[in-house]
C-alpha cells in the first residue's frame, strides 16, 4: 500500500488526513498516517477567544486518536525534527511527559509521499525581551497562559490596598493584523464581564487600557484600505488606543519601547506581529526554503527539489500567479490546499499528472467580538470587492470554521451539533472565570 505521511494536524493537515482516511484509507488503497506533536487539535483562529476567555477550549478540541479511529487513518504522536530523503524517512524526537520522563523514544517513519503541514509560529524578529516578556498566541497552552495571567492581574488589582501602579491593568498588543485587532476587541468585552463578577474596586473605563502597536502606517496592513478604515473607527469607539508607525524595539516586564523613543507601560504584552515557519524546516535535508523558513513549493504543492515531498498551509510558500505574489498564510488557504491535495492524491496513485492549485480569494473578515464583524468579500462571491458588516458578515466569518468542522466531522454531525448548541444556548459566549 502507498504510504502517505502527513506532518502537522492543523487547519490544513487534519482536514487532509481525515478526507484521505475516509476514502483511500477506508478502501485500503493507501495507508494514511498523521503525525503531530500535540494530542489534540484546536483550529488556530479560535485562539484569541481562548486567550480572552470567551471560549471554552474543551468544547472545540478534537482528539487526534479518536479522529484517526473514526476516519481510518493512523495517528502518531511526536515532534518531527528531521528528514532523510534518500531513505524516504522522517525522524521523530523523543516524547517526554511533564516531569521530563520519556514516553515515546525517538523513532523514524517511512513514507512514499510526505506532506509537510506544520504551520507557523509568531516571528518576534529577535526583538530584545520579546521572548521573555511577551506571550504569543501560537498554541492553546499559550492562549490559556495569557488568560490565566489576565485573570490574576484583575484579581491582584482588586485586592491591593494601594492605588494601581503605572502600567498596571494595561495590555499592549504588538501587531495590528487580524489577530491583534480581534484580540483587542474580544478583551475589551471579556475584561468588563469579569470585573462585573464582584471586582468592584476596578473601574474598567478608568483602570483598563488596551493599546495596539503597529509598525506599518495603518492597521490591518495586509487587508484593503476601506476595511482598515472601518475597523479603526470601531476600535476608536471602544476606546482602544492604536499606535501606528511605531516599531517595537524592546519589551520589558514593565512595558514596551518603540523606535521613536515612545514608552508604553504594560502589565501584559502579546506579540501578534509577523509569522515564520518552524526553525527545523530551514535546511531540512536540502529542501529549498525562504528567509522565514517556509518550504518553497510549485503550484502542484510539491517542494521544488523533491516531488515526493509536498508542503502546504502556513509552512509553504506557494506562487500566486494572478497576483504575481505568494499565497497568504491563512486558514482559508490551508483549507483550499487540503481540498486540492485530497483531489490530487488518487490521481497520483494512478500515476496521472497533477493539476496546479488555484487559490480563490473570497476576501477577509475581521471579528470585533460582540460589537461587530466587518469584512470585504470578493472573487467568486461578488464581482470586485464589497464591504460587509453586521449579521451577514458574522455568518460569513463563522462559515470558515463551519467548513473546517464539516471537513472533519461531516455535514450531519456539524448540523446536529450546531442545532444542539442553539437549543441549549451554548452558542452564547460566556466568560471563563478560571
Among 186, 267, 306, 314, the residue binding ligand FAD under the rule CB under 6 A is 314
Return d(Cα 371, Cα 380) in angstroms, integer. 28
- By CB under 6 A, the residues from 55 to 74 that bind ligand FAD are none
Nearest approach, Cβ of residue 315 and ligand FAD (Å): 6
Go through 381-395 and write b for each residue having 16 or more CB atoms within 10 A of its CB, e for each that does not.
eeeebeebeeeebbe
Asked if 429 is part of the footprint of ligand FAD (rule: CB under 6 A), the reply reads no
Backbone angles phi, psi at 155, to 5 degrees: -65, -40
Confirm if 289 and 190 have CB atoms less than 8 A apart: no
Q: Which of 4, 24, 31, 47 binds ligand FAD (CB under 6 A)?
A: 47
The reply to whether 53 sits near ligand FAD by the rule CB under 6 A is no
**Listed ranges 31-39, 164-172, 218-226, 355-363: which one lies at the site for ligand FAD (CB under 6 A):** 31-39
Which is closer to ligand FAD, CB of 29 or CB of 91? 91
Helix axes 140-159, 178-195, angle to 10 degrees: 40
Residue 286 CA to residue 312 CA, distance in Å, equals 18
Strands (E) across 342-385 are located at: 363-368, 372-377
Please tell me the count of residues contacting ligand FAD according to CB under 6 A.
Answer: 34
Segment near ligand FAD (CB under 6 A); pick from 26-34, 234-242, 309-317, 382-390: 309-317
Using Cβ positions, the residue closest to ligand FAD within the complex turns out to be 10
2 binds ligand FAD (CB under 6 A): no
Q: Is 178 in the site for ligand FAD (CB under 6 A)?
A: yes
Q: CA angle, 326 as apex, 123 and 136 as ends, to 5°? A: 20
CA–chain centroid gap for 157, Å, is: 31
Q: How far is the CB of 402 from ligand FAD (least distance, A)?
A: 13
140 binding ligand FAD? (CB under 6 A): no
Closest to 164 (Cα-Cα) out of 58, 94, 266, 304: 266
Instruction: For the chain, give the number of residues.
Output: 434
d(CA 393, CA 63): 30
Q: Write down the least CB distance from residue 427 to ligand FAD, Å.
A: 18
Q: Which is nearer to ligand FAD, 31 or 143 (CB)?
A: 143
Contacts of 164 (CB under 8 A, 6+ apart): 157, 207
Residues numbered 204 to 263 that lie near ligand FAD (CB under 6 A) are none
Q: Which of 5, 24, 117, 213 binds ligand FAD (CB under 6 A)?
A: 117
Q: Please provide residue 56's backbone torsions phi and psi, each rounded to the nearest 5 degrees.
A: -90, 120
How far is the C-alpha of 341 from the C-alpha of 294, rounded, in Å? 18
Look up cell 503597529; give the residue. Answer: 214
Whose CA is closest to 77, among 67, 86, 87?
A: 67
Task: Return the residue of 18, 33, 48, 432 that touches ligand FAD, per CB under 6 A.
Answer: 48
- Between 168 and 367, name the residue whose CB sits nearer to ligand FAD: 367
The one segment of 1-9, 168-176, 234-242, 288-296 that binds ligand FAD by CB under 6 A: 1-9
How many Å apart are CA 248 and CA 134, to the nearest integer?
Answer: 12
* CB of 110 vs ligand FAD, minimal distance in Å: 16
Q: Which position has the grid cell 487513518?
A: 73
Site for ligand FAD in 280-299 (CB under 6 A): 280
Q: List binders of ligand FAD among 398-427 (CB under 6 A).
A: none
The rounded distance, in Å, linking the Cα atoms of 426 and 183 is: 21
For cell 530584545, the residue is 128
Binding ligand FAD (rule: CB under 6 A), the pick from 4, 8, 176, 269 is 8
Site for ligand FAD in 368-397 (CB under 6 A): none
Q: Choose the binding region for ligand FAD from 5-13, 161-169, 296-304, 349-357 (rule: CB under 6 A).
A: 5-13
C-beta of 209 vs 404, nearer to ligand FAD: 404
| Separation between Cα atoms, residue 389 and residue 18, nearest integer Å | 33
Of 142, 170, 179, 317, the one binding ligand FAD (CB under 6 A) is 179
Which residues on adjacent β-strands are paired with residue 256? Answer: 251, 264
Segment near ligand FAD (CB under 6 A), from 34-42, 54-62, 224-232, 252-260?
A: 34-42
Residue 313 is a binding residue for ligand FAD (CB under 6 A):
yes
With CB under 6 A as the contact rule, the residue among 44, 340, 404, 432 that binds ligand FAD is 44
Q: Is 260 exposed, middle or buried (0-12, 13-18, 19+ CB in 10 A)?
A: exposed
Per CB under 6 A, 36 contacts ligand FAD: yes
Q: Which residues bind ligand FAD (CB under 6 A)?
A: 7-13, 35-38, 41, 44-45, 47-48, 79-80, 117-119, 137, 178-179, 278, 280, 313-315, 329-332, 334
Amino acid at each position: 500500500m502507498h504510504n502517505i505521511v502527513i506532518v502537522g494536524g492543523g487547519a490544513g493537515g487534519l482536514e487532509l488526513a481525515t478526507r484521505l482516511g475516509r476514502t483511500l484509507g477506508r478502501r485500503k488503497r493507501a495507508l494514511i498516517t498523521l503525525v503531530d506533536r500535540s494530542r489534540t487539535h484546536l483550529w488556530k483562529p479560535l485562539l484569541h477567544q481562548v486567550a480572552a476567555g470567551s471560549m471554552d477550549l474543551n468544547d472545540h478540541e478534537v482528539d487526534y486518536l479518536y479522529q484517526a479511529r473514526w476516519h481510518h487513518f493512523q495517528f502518531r504522536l511526536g515532534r518531527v525534527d528531521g528528514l532523510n530523503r534518500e531513505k524516504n524517512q522522517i525522524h521523530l524526537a523523543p516524547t517526554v511527559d511533564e516531569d521530563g520522563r520519556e514516553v515515546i523514544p525517538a523513532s523514524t517513519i517511512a513514507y512514499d509521499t510526505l506532506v509537510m503541514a506544520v504551520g507557523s509560529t509568531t516571528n518576534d524578529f529577535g526583538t530584545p525581551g520579546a521572548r521573555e516578556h511577551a506571550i504569543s498566541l501560537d498554541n492553546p497552552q499559550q492562549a490559556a497562559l495569557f488568560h490565566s495571567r489576565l485573570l490574576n492581574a484583575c484579581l491582584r488589582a482588586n485586592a491591593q490596598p494601594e492605588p494601581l501602579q503605572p502600567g498596571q491593568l494595561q495590555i499592549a498588543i504588538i501587531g495590528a493584523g487580524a489577530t491583534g485587532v480581534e484580540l483587542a476587541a474580544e478583551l475589551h468585552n471579556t475584561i468588563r464581564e469579569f470585573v462585573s463578577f464582584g471586582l468592584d474596586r476596578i473601574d474598567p473605563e478608568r483602570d483598563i487600557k488596551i493599546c495596539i502597536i503597529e509598525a506599518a502606517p495603518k492597521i490591518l496592513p495586509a487587508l484593503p484600505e476601506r476595511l482598515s478604515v472601518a475597523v479603526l473607527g470601531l476600535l476608536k469607539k471602544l476606546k482602544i488606543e492604536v499606535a501606528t508607525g511605531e516599531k517595537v524595539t524592546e519589551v520589558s516586564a514593565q512595558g514596551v519601547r518603540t523606535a521613536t523613543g515612545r514608552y508604553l507601560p504594560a502589565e501584559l504584552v502579546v506579540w501578534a506581529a509577523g509569522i515564520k515557519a518552524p526553525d527545523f524546516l530551514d535546511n531540512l535535508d536540502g529542501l529549498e526554503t525562504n528567509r522565514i523558513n517556509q518550504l518553497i513549493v510549485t503550484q502542484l504543492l510539491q517542494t521544488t527539489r523533491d516531488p515526493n515531498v509536498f508542503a502546504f498551509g502556513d509552512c509553504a510558500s506557494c506562487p500566486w500567479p494572478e497576483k504575481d505574489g505568494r499565497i497568504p498564510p491563512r486558514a482559508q488557504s490551508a483549507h483550499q490546499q487540503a481540498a486540492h491535495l485530497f483531489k490530487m492524491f488518487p490521481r497520483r496513485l494512478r500515476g496521472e499528472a497533477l493539476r496546479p492549485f488555484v487559490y480563490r480569494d473570497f476576501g477577509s473578515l475581521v471579528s470585533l467580538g460582540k460589537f461587530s464583524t466587518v469584512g470585504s468579500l470578493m472573487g467568486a462571491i461578488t464581482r470586485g470587492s464589497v464591504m460587509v458588516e453586521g449579521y451577514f458578515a458574522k455568518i460569513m466569518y463563522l462559515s470558515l470554521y463551519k467548513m473546517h468542522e464539516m471537513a472533519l466531522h461531516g455535514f450531519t454531525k456539524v448540523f446536529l451539533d450546531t442545532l444542539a448548541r442553539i437549543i441549549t444556548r451554548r452558542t452564547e459566549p460566556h466568560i471563563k472565570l478560571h
